[in-house]
Amino acid sequence: MSKQMSHLDNIPSTPGKFKMDKSPYIHNRLRWHSSLVKLTFWSFIFLGLILIFFFRSPSSNPLPQDPSRRSLRTYNWGGPSWEKRVRSSARVRSRNGISVLVTGAAGFVGTHVSAALKRRGDGVLGLDNFNDYYDPSLKRARQALLERTGVFIVEGDINDSALLRKLFEVVAFTHVMHLAAQAGVRDILKGKSIPIFEAANHGTVARDFTYIDDIVKGCLGALDTAEKSTGSGGKKKGPAQLRVYNLGNTSPVPVSDLVSILERLLKVNAKRNIMKLPRNGDVQFTHANISLAQRELGYKPTTDLQTGLKKFVRWYLSYYSGGKKAAG
Ligand SMILES: NC(=O)c1ccc[n+]([C@@H]2O[C@H](COP(=O)([O-])OP(=O)(O)OC[C@H]3O[C@@H](n4cnc5c(N)ncnc54)[C@H](O)[C@@H]3O)[C@@H](O)[C@H]2O)c1
Ligand SMILES: *[C@@H]1O[C@H](CO)[C@@H](O)[C@H](O)[C@H]1NC(C)=O
Ligand SMILES: *[C@@H]1O[C@H](CO)[C@@H](O)[C@H](O)[C@H]1NC(C)=O
């Protein structure tokens, strides 16, 4: 994907049957003995059940003493109400709908893709670890927004195999839209100076920008053209198809032009900090090679930078001035 504007006993229940003696004394003794046996027995059963529950609990979160899992943060997942939310979110509501697990659903692209799928009547379940690579409050706002449309984001790591196994046990997903990543985001309004790189001899540095709606179309196109790997009842027929697409634009725009358009739309002057492009780092021009997506998905970006930025700025201002409500 190319640069954007903003860059989940049976227990033997026969507790000692005693033949009762007619003698009252023996009778009482036996009764007493019998109830002690019963009490001890049931105490053991009770303890046993607690232990069974403990080890077989669905929220079998990574145990801290497991060294292979130490790198993962522990998340609360599992349990009947959690499973209910998972099922409900992933339920397909349209006739030929699909059931999709969207990783990185609290992210920029993931949120838009999840909302678009839900709108079509597809089943959607999000998975995100809400990492603090950038402001997590923005991710939380997107989570709240998706929640209102009926999309549940499971809080967990895509590297947690126990969680992934559980999710596929609970839901027979037809597709996985993998968008979890650590991508970079930067935007001018904070009054901070923004570095603008220039190539040798004051050459312009151009990048390719794609509006989110075009990216969403490409993502949905990838899902809709995917081969089936399961038969009726979700029974596995073979390995699932894995496809990776590069979605972007093919008309790179000088970064300084982007900043100028933003200045006009935001009615502020950006503090430009012109810097030499590092020799061994970034390249002067980049644009995505979208020929595969064009050929296989019919992908064609239609929103130009000016229009896209206008929409973006409208959203940005409403989000950051309107009490962070319109996270969409
Ligand atoms: N938006 C852009 O400018 C841009 C640019 C280039 C590429 N892309 C690509 O688009 C895709 C999505 O980008 P985005 O802009 O939505 O990024 P984003 O950072 O907004 O979203 C990614 C989400 O993935 C989540 N995540 C990261 N690691 C995870 C893990 N181990 N387990 C669970 N969740 C995890 C993050 O919390 C985040 O919410 C990525 O493949 C990215 O490389 C985006
Ligand atoms: C992912 O899990 C594997 C195996 O459990 C582990 O080796 C690897 O270090 C983990 N990676 C991350 C990024 O947590
Ligand atoms: C663009 O991608 C297509 C399809 O993946 C590939 O065949 C072609 O070589 C790529 N072009 C360039 C310039 O890398």
Q: Is the dihedral of CA 134, 138, 142, 148 positive or negative?
A: positive
Written out in words, the top-level CATH class of the domain with range 186-229+242-328 is alpha beta
State CA 125 to chain mean position distance. 8
Structure tokens at 315: 């959203």
Q: In terms of C-beta density within 10 A (0-12 exposed, 13-18 middle, 19 or more buried), how is residue 289 classed?
A: exposed
Atom of ligand 2 nearest to the CA of 161: 5
Residue 260's pLDDT is: 83
Place of tokens 């980049």: 286
Q: Which ligand is nearest to the CA of 180?
A: 1
- Residue type (1 letter), 192: K
What is the residue with the minimal CA distance to atom 12 of ligand 3?
289
Instruction: State in Å: Cα 210 to ligand 2 middle.
Output: 32
Beta bridge partners of 186: none
Of 63, 66, 68, 73, best ligand 2 pocket probe by most atoms within 8 Å of the beta carbon: 68
Cβ 289 under 6 angstroms from ligand 3: yes
Q: Is the Cβ atom of 68 under 6 angstroms away from ligand 2?
A: yes
pLDDT at 85: 97
Q: What is the pLDDT along the chain (328 residues), one digit of tens a residue?
A: 443 433 333 333 333 333 444 444 445 555 556 666 676 666 666 665 555 555 444 444 444 444 444 455 778 899 999 999 999 999 999 999 999 999 999 999 999 999 999 999 999 999 999 999 888 999 999 999 999 999 999 999 999 999 999 999 999 999 999 999 987 544 755 556 666 666 666 666 677 778 888 999 999 999 999 988 777 776 778 888 889 888 888 777 777 788 888 888 888 887 777 777 766 656 666 677 899 999 999 998 888 888 888 888 888 788 777 655 444 4
- The predicted pLDDT at position 291 comes to 92
Q: How far is CA 306 from CA 257, 266, 312, in A?
A: 10, 13, 10
Q: Whose CA is nearest to atom 4 of ligand 2?
A: 68
Provide the CB-side half-sphere exposure for 60 (13 A, CA). Answer: 17
Which numbered ligand comes closest to the C-alpha of 296? 3
Tokens of 161: 């195999």
Residue from 86, 47, 246 nearest 164 by CA: 86
Domain ranges in the chain? 23-51, 77-185, 186-229+242-328
Q: For position 50, what pLDDT does the model report? A: 57
Residue 193 tokens read as 């100076």
Secondary structure of residue 266 in the 3-state scheme: helix
- What pTM was computed for the model? 0.70
Residue 284 exposed, middle or buried by CB count within 10 Å (0-12, 13-18, 19+): middle
Ligand nearest to the CA of 70: 2
Ligand 3 center to residue 61 CA distance, Å? Answer: 43
Provide the 3-class DSSP secondary structure of residue 327.
Answer: coil
Report which residue type is found at 270: A
Per-residue pLDDT at 130 = 96
- State how far the Cα of 215 lies from the Cα of 2, in Å rounded to an integer: 10
pLDDT of residue 1: 43
Torsion sign, CA atoms 311, 314, 317, 318: negative
Please check whether residue 131 is in contact with residue 99, taking contact to mean a CB–CB distance below 8 angstroms.
Answer: no
CB-based burial label for 80 (10 Å; 0-12, 13-18, 19+): exposed
Query: Which residue in this structure is represented by tokens 């100028």?
Result: 260
The yes-or-no answer to whether 77-185 and 186-229+242-328 have a common fold is yes
Rounded CA-CA distance 113/276 in Å is 37
DSSP letter assigned to residue 267? T
Ligand 3: centre distance to CA 245 (Å): 12
Taking the CA of 71 as reference, the closest ligand is 2
Domain 77-185 sits in CATH 3.50.50.60 = no
Q: Which of 291, 295, 296 to mutate to test the pocket of ligand 3 (most atoms within 8 A of CB)?
A: 291
Distance CA 93, CA 327 (A): 25
Residues 6+ apart with CB under 8 A from 255: 196, 197, 204, 205, 206, 207
